[in-house]
Amino acid sequence: MKADAKVVVPLLKTARGQLDGLLRMVEDDRYCMDISNQLLATISILNKVNREVLKAHLQNCVKEAVLEGKEEEKIDEILLLLDKISK
């Protein structure tokens, strides 16, 4: 992975902590809106991690593929991913 682990790892650890908190909230039968807000915060962090990973992919892997004349494979990968994101 080309993404900066110093950025990605703390974000993922924060998301993991939020997931643990969410489990406790559900087990404690907390208010639905509090749970939903916490879910949105966790999703936001995971989206940020995904942006970091994709940015690194574009800046490194895709750039390298273009220089090697293998850009079609990377373009297809990105298009498949965009399909998943848009669902």
Task: Write down the pLDDT at residue 1.
Answer: 78
The residues, any chain, with a CB within 8 Å of residue 86's CB and separated by 6 or more, are: none
- In angstroms, the CA 21 to CA 35 distance is 9
- In angstroms, the CA 58 to CA 45 distance is 20
Regions of the chain where pLDDT drops below 50: none
Cβ–Cβ < 8 Å for 35, 21: no
Task: Write down the pLDDT at residue 25.
Answer: 98
pLDDT tens per residue, range 9-33: 999 999 999 999 999 999 999 999 9
Residue with tokens 């895709």: 62
Task: Write down the pLDDT at residue 79.
Answer: 94
Instruction: Spell out the domain ranges in the chain.
Output: 5-85
The residues, any chain, with a CB within 8 Å of residue 57's CB and separated by 6 or more, are: 2, 3
- Tell the CATH topology of 5-85: Methane Monooxygenase Hydroxylase; Chain G, domain 1 (1.20.58)
Task: Write down the pLDDT at residue 59.
Answer: 93
